[in-house]
Amino acid sequence: MPFTLREPALLDAPQIAELHVATWRETYSHLLPEDFFTQEHVQSRHQMWHHILGNPREEWSITGSRRAGGRSSASRSSAPAFGPKGKELPLDRQLFSICVTSERYGTRVGQALLDATAGDGPAMLWVARDNLRAVAFYLRKGFEFDGAEQTGPGAPAIVDARMVR
């Protein structure tokens, strides 16, 4: 199925929120409590995307795919950050997420979204360590683990590992 990439508008917030929740259900349900995807959680994703798209910032890059079940987001930062052993991290592009529905795996939507938001230069991201499909994708794209890991308060069973390129 052909697709086009574009910067989403505020009116796209509901569809992006639903995509966000759907991809998390597909990918992380086995790591999350049974009651994780409550109506309140879904509503919080709607509020989050309404806020993000309603308050655009120059340093954010958000791309959606029309008819392709995917979206990505990244930001630029001029503030230096340092990882293990004092190595400066490539924060000129921090990828926050690529969400692609499972029915679109293998269609190059993920590659197009990565190219649109992070390009092929220095970048960093956090990936769920147990999301083997995403880890393999990022490894193929030149990212490497740098040893940093973290968990979030809302999903402590998901361990995020930092990757840099």
pLDDT tens per residue, range 94-121 = 888 888 888 888 888 889 989 888 888 8
Please say if the pLDDT value at position 2 is more than 90: no
Instruction: Please report, for residues 52, 100, 109, 140, 162, the alpha-carbon distance to residue 43 in angstroms, rounded to integers and kept in the order given.
Output: 14, 20, 26, 35, 28
Q: What is the mean pLDDT of residues 42-67?
A: 87
Residue 92: left (phi > 0), alpha (psi -120 to 50), or beta?
alpha
Of the candidate CATH numbers 3.40.50.720, 2.40.50.100, 3.50.40.10, 3.40.630.30, the domain formed by 4-164 belongs to: 3.40.630.30
Q: Does position 78 have pLDDT exceeding 60, yes or no?
A: no
Provide CB contacts within 8 A for 107, sequence distance 6+.
1, 3, 68
* Domain spans of the chain, in order of start: 4-164
Query: Pick the residue with more confidence: 134 or 86?
Result: 134
Side-chain-side CA neighbours of 115 within 13 Å: the count stands at: 8
CA distances from 137 to 56, 71, 114, 141, 143 (A): 28, 16, 10, 6, 9
pLDDT band for 86, please (50, 70, 90 cuts): low
Report, as an integer, the average pLDDT of 40-46.
95
- The overall average pLDDT reported for the chain is 85
pLDDT beyond 80 at 77: no
